[in-house]
Structure 1
Amino acid sequence: MLIDGLQCGHFTRETFEELRRGDVTCVTITAGFWEGTLESLDSIGRWRDLVRENADLVMLATTAEDIEEASRTGRTALVMGFQNSNLLEGRIRFVELFAELGVRVIQLTYNNQNELAGSCYETEDSGLARFGREVIDEMNRHGILVDLSHVGNRSTLDAVLHSKKPVAVTHANPDSLFSHKRNKTDDVLKALVDNGGVIGCATYRNITGDYYCSTVKAWAELVARTVDIAGIDHVAIGTDRSHNHTKPDYDWMRQGRWTRGIDYGAGSAARPGKVPPADWFKSVSDLNLIPGGLAEVGFSPEEVEKITSGNWLRVYREVFRKA
Structure 2
Amino acid sequence: MAAVSGCAASGAQPMAGSGADRDMIVVNALGGLGDPNHPGDSLVPDVSPRVLAEAHASGLTAVNVTLGYVAGPQDPFEASVNDIAATDALVRAHPANLMKVYTAADIRRAKDEGRIGLIYGFQNGAMMGDKPERVDTFANLGVRIFQLTYNPANQLGDGSMAPENRGITALGREVIARCNANHVMVDLSHSGEQTCLEAARASAQPVSINHTGCRALTDLPRNKTDEELRLVAERGGFVGIYFMPFLNPTGHATAADVVAHLEHAVNICGEDQVGIGTDGSVTQIDDLAAYEAVLVKEIAERRAAGISAKGERPDTYPFVVDLRGPDQFRKLQRLLAAKGWSSARIEKIMGLNFLRYAETIWGA
TM over 0.5: yes
Counterparts in 2 of 1:232 and 1:93: CA distance versus 1, 3 Å: same
Is residue 295 of structure 1 aligned with residue 334 of structure 2?
Answer: no
Is residue 59 of structure 1 aligned with residue 99 of structure 2?
Answer: yes
Q: Deviations over 1:277-299 (max 9, x none)?
A: 31223314422322222211111
Counterparts in 2 of 1:274 and 1:29: CA distance versus 1, 3 Å: farther
Q: Distance in 2 between matches of 1:83 and 1:250?
A: 18
**Matched AA of 1:20:** H
Q: Distance in 2 between matches of 1:109 and 1:315?
A: 21
Aligned to 1:45: 85
Deviation at 1:161, TM superposition (A): 0.7
Is residue 265 of structure 1 aligned with residue 309 of structure 2?
Answer: yes
- The one of 267, 274, 280 equivalent to 1:241 is 280
Once the two structures are superposed, the pairs formed by residues 1-323 of structure 1 within 5 Å of their partners are: 1-8=25-32, 10-13=45-48, 14-32=50-68, 33-34=70-71, 36-208=76-248, 213-215=253-255, 217-241=256-280, 246=294, 250=299, 255-256=304-305, 264-268=308-312, 271-272=313-314, 275=317, 277-321=319-363
Deviation at 1:168, TM superposition (A): 0.7
Deviation at 1:190, TM superposition (A): 1.0
**Matched AA of 1:30:** T
Q: Distance in 2 between matches of 1:116 and 1:220?
A: 33
C-alpha contact 1:221 1:297 (8 A) present in aligned 2:
no
Deviation at 1:183, TM superposition (A): 0.5
Deviation at 1:130, TM superposition (A): 0.8
Q: Distance in 2 between matches of 1:314 and 1:240?
A: 21
Deviation at 1:126, TM superposition (A): 1.3
C-alpha contact 1:250 1:273 (8 A) present in aligned 2:
no
Q: Distance in 2 between matches of 1:306 and 1:292?
A: 14
Counterparts in 2 of 1:254 and 1:70: CA distance versus 1, 3 Å: farther
C-alpha contact 2:245 2:251 (8 A) present in aligned 1:
no
| Residue aligned with 2:149, SS | coil
Deviation at 1:225, TM superposition (A): 2.0
C-alpha contact 2:129 2:155 (8 A) present in aligned 1:
no
Percent same amino acid at aligned positions?
30
Deviation at 1:206, TM superposition (A): 3.4
| Residue aligned with 1:319, SS | helix
Deviation at 1:212, TM superposition (A): 8.3
Unaligned runs of at least 5 residues, structure 1: none
C-alpha contact 1:173 1:208 (8 A) present in aligned 2:
no
Q: Distance in 2 between matches of 1:63 and 1:184?
A: 27
Deviation at 1:249, TM superposition (A): 5.4
Counterparts in 2 of 1:288 and 1:52: CA distance versus 1, 3 Å: farther
Following TM superposition, where does structure 1 have runs of at least 4 consecutive aligned residues deviating by more than 6 angstroms?
none
Q: Distance in 2 between matches of 1:211 and 1:45?
A: 36
Counterparts in 2 of 1:252 and 1:165: CA distance versus 1, 3 Å: farther
| Residue aligned with 1:233, SS | coil
**Matched AA of 1:235:** V
Aligned to 2:288: none
TM normalised by structure 2 equals: 0.80
**Matched AA of 1:228:** N
TM normalised by structure 1 equals: 0.89
Deviation at 1:88, TM superposition (A): 1.4
Count of equivalent residues: 314
Q: Which moved more, 1:29-38 or 1:154-163?
A: 29-38
**Matched AA of 2:309:** G
Unaligned runs of at least 5 residues, structure 2: 1-24, 33-42, 286-290
| Residue aligned with 2:272, SS | helix
